[in-house]
A and B are shown apart, each in its own frame.
Chain A
Amino acid sequence: MKEEPRVGVFICHCGINIGGVVNVPEVTEYAKSLQNVKHAENNLYTCSEAGLAAIKEAIKKHKLNRVVVASCTPRTHEPLFRSACEEAGVNRYLFEMANIREHCSWVHAHEPKEATKKAKDIVRMAVAKAALLEPQTEPEVDVKDASLVIGAGIAGMTAALSMANQGFKVHLIEKEKELGGLTQRLYKLYPTLADSSEILEPLIKSVEANRNIELMTSTTLKDVTGYIGNFDAVLTGPEGDKKVNVGTIIVASGSSNYTPPQGLYQYGIYDHVITQIELDEMLSKGKIGHPKRIVMIQCVGARKGEIRPSDLEAFPKSDTADLLRKILKARKEEGWPYLSKICCMDAKKNAILVKEKSPKTDVVILFGDLRVYKEYEDFYRKARDLEVRFIRHIEEVSPEITKTSEGELQVATFDAMSGLEVKFPADWVVLSTPLIPNKDEVMLARMLKIPIGTDGFLMEAHLKLRPVDTNVDGVFIAGTVSGPKDVSESIISGEAAAARASILMGNKKVRTEAITAVVDEELCIGCGLCEEICPYGAPKVEEGKSKILEILCRGCGSCSAECPRQAITMRHFGDHQLLAQVKALLTPQA
């Protein structure tokens, strides 16, 4: 140890939250008796202005070089106390928190004696770890002020335009010849019944006219290396390969509309059995005419099949491509397990469009379950007012499609209300199918190291809190690539992803994780296991020794736990630091 640890302990009453259960003065006195502790005090609220000032003052007065705050959870308050330490000249990683609120006073409210004893243990463990803490720096990297947007659908174009308008260079690539993605195939959009072209065309024009956007159609991502702030991407298109250097990447490669396998509801066998998106195309061309009856069937290939544990078990060993292949195969056999969100509204929209053109056509929507959310309830009422018939069938029994001897389509199903079998002769049967993941996503996900969820879509970093971030720093997702979304939601996510990326590019620099892996080169034998284990590609064996590219390391520590030579340690969560906590708890005198 280079310098003698001088630990200061600050114990918080948190009003009565801690003080009402734990005997805080007793814990403070106890803390003073611990090895390396040079100062201990208690505060009414350590996180208050006065509490933080007390920390800074004590650091100066007692020449403290380590700080322990015994209060609440580090998950909320650690950054605050760390900053206080930093302001008083103590590295922010020379700080440790003892959680005596969430993990003690709040869960042992009726056992004050036991809680006090436990609080002492928790403080002792924190002090033991604090003494072994080392200063860390968060490496700072430059962020190139250019972005790569993959996919020029509604989400991708929105994102590209948003960043370009802020002055950032955007490389927008689209694998198809034309821009517009899935929206292009839609006729009118719910709930306004506006033409999709009314939204798409101005957007396409703005994208094409924007000088900051370099647009490349029939182009895909071939390879990508680098890290947040500095990605090197190879794009491949009709004019060969092209290299671009960007600071951020937005994946907006969209999804596909599920095409039922031949024979499912007689799809592909009878001409007049079509999917909802095919109906869209027919409506736009005015091909549908004035049929007597159209029967729509909901949830075709959706919300069926469970994620099997075997799919998950396969994950650690196989790469994402394998997993996705497996999922795709299972889904082909069992259907997609999730709710696709847009199909209910889509069916209603097309039903309304048919009714408006041809009021005499009987439109029947057969559903097991119908979901109308947000303000779309009105849209549902509109369909009802137009006398679209909604009939719930018994969910377990799928409707059956046959052809009568006269060559007429007939849909038979069990009405859930009466339990009786009902039969509908129909001119057209329209299947509402879900949005499903694109096959190209596999390669893309693998190249970018974005995990794929069990539903087959790209996974967001956090479903609730970070919906457009991915687990890879500097890479964001927008649109239906992460799951079914309608047009307005795709636009929202496109704007959101652009905002997230612009923050990085606007700041020009970004601080990355300080808690990373460190290789002891003396011990390392260069076996390369860490290279294969790491989900982020951080370790690289060079000249017989593993080197961690800190910028890629996220600090999970899997390499450390698996290293055959125990040559890898983690900053801030080293084995010796964790063991010191265990030791302080179990053999305090030693």
Chain B
Amino acid sequence: MVKEKKTKQKFEPTIVAFCCNWCSYAGADLAGTSRFEYPPNIRIIRVMCTGRIDPTLVFETLRMGADGVLIAGCHPGDCHYQKGNFMMEKRFSYIKKAADDMGVEPERVRLEWVSASEGGKFTALVREMTEQIEQLGPNPMIQKASATIDAFKSQRLRWVMGRSQIKVDIEEVKYRQTVDSIMHDEIERHAITRALKEKGPLTVQELAEISGLQPSRIVRHILALRKNGVVNEAGEKDRQLLYQLI
């Protein structure tokens, strides 16, 4: 082994891996049994199935400062629970979309299939991911993470995501567009309600500045939130209406 002197400045990322008990955790075990070596940056958390991983768990992990998240499960068709990995795959497409929107680089959040016999693949994967994230540097402060987590906790978004796991009588592309647009709306709305919660009553202009959204979008969301009984008017400021959480 070539010994490299590590400079103190070298960035050491922390990567959290959620591995399913039946395939990927066993694959990681095999990497050990085979005495393969990979960078010590990864911490493995065992779950029974990738189908069990809630999107909020991924975003919470990123918010707490993980530089990368790896979700590893059984290959398609090999799931111990028949289709947990398929469900994760679908769910992951939403996670990915929201992560992209937050400005999280795609290399940081990955879903991979690693079987119990693929110790080598697991090793290569950890090496590759560690290298890539070293290049990217630390996980940037994700301003939108809290709003995204709130959105992924919301019944509205979870319902449409969940429905897409089963047969829907709508063309897949169209359904996907609907989910994406609801996801987008929910994240923005939760950014608004978070701002109102933290800062008290605000005007549309102020909300636009805080969230970085167009005032027209803020107005649209405020109308919806008012209709749903989430916000109402709270007087005026500089001849503009103030809004507050109910």
Contact residues of A with B, CB < 8 Å?
73-75, 99, 101-104, 106-111, 114-115, 117-118, 121-122, 125, 312, 315-318, 451, 453-454, 471, 515, 525, 527, 529, 532-533, 535, 554-558, 560-566, 570, 573, 575, 578-579, 581-583, 585-587
Contacts and interface: CB of A to CB of B under 8 A. Distances in A.
Given A109-B37, A562-B162, A586-B66, A557 B60 contact: no
A31 B31 CA distance: 26
B51 to A, nearest CB: 4
Interface string B171-202: 00000000000000000000000000000000
Contact of B165 (A102, A108, A316, A581): A316
B221 interface: no
A103 B26 CA distance: 10
A562 B158 contact: yes
B37 A107 contact: yes
Contacts of B46: 74
A14 B207 CA distance: 59
A558 B51 contact: yes
Given A316-B87, A587-B64, A578 B48 contact: no
Interface range for B: 35 or more
Given A103-B29, A121-B43, A555-B48, A585 B35 contact: no
A445 to B, nearest CB: 11
Given A99-B44, A115-B40, A564-B155, 9 more contacts: A107-B123, A117-B40, A317-B167, A453-B77, A557-B49, A561-B54, A565-B158, A579-B57, A585-B66
A99 B31 CA distance: 13
A109 B35 contact: yes
Contacts of B88: 561
Contacts of A578: 18, 45, 47, 57
Interface in B51-89: 51-57, 60-61, 64-66, 76-77, 80-84, 86-89
B244 interface: no
B161 interface: yes
B21 A75 contact: yes
Most A Cβ at <10 Å: residue of B28, B32, B55, B83: B32
Contacts of A525: 155
Interface in B81-109: 81-84, 86-91
Contacts of B83: 315-316, 535, 558
A582 B159 contact: no
Contacts of B52: 556-558, 560-561, 570, 573
Interface string B1-22: 1000000000000101010010
B243 interface: no
A585 B16 contact: yes
B220 interface: no
A73 B151 CA distance: 36
B48 A560 contact: no
B30 to A, nearest CB: 8
Contacts of A566: 54, 56, 153, 158
A106 B33 contact: yes
Contacts of B123: 107
Nearest to A587: B64
A570 to B, nearest CB: 6
A115 B42 CA distance: 11
Contact of A586 (B32, B64, B89, B91): B64
Contacts of A121: 43
B65 A586 contact: yes
Contacts of B36: 107
11 contacts: A110-B1, A122-B43, A315-B83, A316-B87, A316-B165, A532-B166, A558-B84, A561-B88, A573-B52, A582-B64, A585-B66
B76 A581 contact: no
Contacts of B80: 471, 556
A107 B87 CA distance: 31
A106 B40 contact: no
A272 B52 CA distance: 57
Nearest to B35: A106
Nearest to B76: A312
A221 B218 CA distance: 60
Contacts of B48: 515, 555-557, 570, 573
Contact of A582 (B55, B66, B165): B66
Contacts of B49: 556-558
Nearest to A111: B40
A102 B33 contact: yes
Given A535-B82, A582-B45, A582-B61, A564 B162 contact: yes
Contacts of B56: 566, 575
A115 B38 CA distance: 11
A564 B158 contact: yes
Pick from B45, B52, B54, B76 the residue with the most CB of A within 10 Å.
Answer: B52
Given A73-B29, A515-B48, A566-B158, A118 B40 contact: yes
Contacts of A73: 25, 29, 32
Contacts of B153: 566
Contacts of B162: 529, 533, 562-564
Contact of B159 (A315, A529, A575, A583): A529
Contacts of B45: 125, 578, 581-582
Nearest to A581: B45
A107 B76 contact: no
The 10 closest A-B pairs by CB, nearest first: A557-B52, A102-B32, A556-B81, A316-B86, A106-B32, A558-B51, A564-B158, A564-B159, A586-B64, A114-B40
B163 interface: yes
Given A556-B81, A578-B45, A561 B53 contact: yes
Contacts of B16: 582, 585-586
Q: Which of B43, B161, B163 has the most CB of A within 10 A?
A: B43
Given A118-B43, A125-B45, A558-B52, A107 B31 contact: yes
Nearest to B58: A582
A579 B66 CA distance: 12
B155 A103 contact: no
B81 A533 contact: no
A101 B32 contact: yes
Contacts of A454: 77
Contacts of A102: 28-29, 31-33
Contacts of A573: 47-48, 52
A103 B161 contact: no
Nearest to A533: B165
Contacts of A581: 45
A315 B82 CA distance: 10
Given A106-B33, A108-B37, A562-B161, A554 B81 contact: yes
Contacts of B31: 102, 107
Contacts of A533: 87, 162, 165-166
Among A111, A318, A578: residue with most chain B CB under 10 A = A578
B129 to A, nearest CB: 14
Contacts of A115: 40
Contacts of A515: 48
Contacts of A558: 49, 51-52, 81, 83-84, 87, 165
B119 to A, nearest CB: 9
B167 A318 contact: yes
A101 B30 CA distance: 11
